[in-house]
Amino acid sequence: MKDPEFWHNKWAANQIGFHLEDVNPLLIKYWPEVKASHEDNVFVPLCGKSEDLVWLATKHSDVQGVELSNIAVRAFFAEHFYTPMVMPINGQHELFQFDELSIYVGDYFTAPIKPVDVVYDRAALIALPEEMRVAYVEKIKSLLKPGARILLITLDYPQEEMAGPPFSVTEQEVRQHFSEFTIIKLYRDDADEHHPKIAKKGLSRFAEEVYLIQA
């Protein structure tokens, strides 16, 4: 991945403002729209040490993640008192496995992810600069089984007003990336003047959006 040192350094310095301490409420609210069965396997790209992984593993028998930072993955298992099996994979990745969870440590673009029924992307597309997002989406598409669904959470703000990550990904860009799929916009939340991104960062607008994308 481009500039992996950026993310390694963020985790090493514990600069993880992008990490949510609790399960994302948007996941809980909108996951029913995905209509995923217990047997559907779920992929969480650029998963960090997200609590969402634990929530998803209570509902699905096979949850895969991929994460660049070894620090993040080891912290995830330690904080939950899970003792995973750790296996080297093809000299490029390590696989951490515990019950329903399989997390690959290493580059997203070369991780040996099995074909998936559902993708949950809260922090992957918006973590990548514009020049990497096309390749990211192509990799996602290559993993989708027929009829697969993606629950995608994005941010929309004037990119020139704040340097990412997280980056702004507009609705127009989402529709371009997935133009051959059915796209349903489930939610948009426009922040008010008290939101920290507006009050502290001085953004003129800031919104969070949720999409259901169906192959």
Question: With bands split at pLDDT 50, 70 and 90, how would you rate the model's confidence at 197?
Answer: confident
What pLDDT is recorded for position 17?
A: 47
- The count of domains in the chain is 1
Peptide bond into 84 cis (omega under 30): no
User: Helix, strand, or coil here: 30?
Assistant: helix
Q: Tell me the pTM.
A: 0.91
Beta bridge partners of 104: 66, 95
Model pLDDT for residues 202-215, shown as the tens digit of each residue: 899 999 999 999 99
Q: What is the mean pLDDT of residues 160-186?
A: 96
Question: What's the CATH code of the domain at 153?
Answer: 3.40.50.150
Residue span of the structural domain in which 80 resides? 4-13+22-214
Among candidates 213, 165, 215, 155, which has minimal Cα distance to 33?
A: 213
What pLDDT is recorded for position 20?
A: 56
